[in-house]
Amino acid sequence: MSKIVEEVEASNLNYADNFGSKKDLESKPTRRFAILTCMDARLDPAKFAGLVEGDAHVIRNAGGRASEDAVRSLLISYKLLDTKEWFVVHHTGCGMETVTDEEIDEIFEIKNSSNINWLTFKDNKQSLVEDVLTLRNHPLVPKSIPIYGYIYNCSSGILEEVEEATLAGQSK
């Protein structure tokens, strides 16, 4: 067994010892919102958004992109679990901004372009606006859900609103 497995299991036992009333939490988020953000280890959505267990849904992927699976998760969050607002949060220094789809194909030694859209980007703000628009324009996303766009600053911990993204995400 690796040291990491031992640490995770020990931490989990400590967590379970203090679980208490968390067993009564529902799958519906009490604050009725969802966050789509990057999987980068420097981002802790619970801390930057002031969350505790049960508050919100958090969907994470490489780049915090509005991928097909992220859209699926957000739609389930809305329709089955009653979220009313969505946040899309990108961040400074994202690794997905430093490579191209072709470079990732090369890393994986894929000879003929892969079927995976790696969703790399060159302009953080523009990709955020694109992701908000992907959500806003999806035929299953109701116009009543406001969608907000932010960039988390990894140097300061501040969420910086990208007005163009938030405006694009408002009800029409």
Instruction: Quote the DSSP letter at residue 160.
Output: E
Sketch the domain layout of the chain as residue ranges. 28-168
pLDDT in tens, 65-118: 999 999 999 999 999 999 999 999 999 999 999 999 989 988 988 877 667 889
Terminal Cα distance for the chain, rounded = 54
Residue 48: what are its φ and ψ, rounded to 5°?
-70, -20
Cα separations in angstroms, 34 against 30, 48, 74, 86, 106: 11, 14, 7, 5, 34
pLDDT bucket at 171, cuts 50 / 70 / 90: confident
pLDDT in tens, 39-61: 999 999 999 999 999 999 999 99
Domain 28-168: give its CATH architecture.
3-Layer(aba) Sandwich (3.40)
Residues β-bridged to residue 60: 37
Quick one: tokens of 25?
Answer: 């939490």
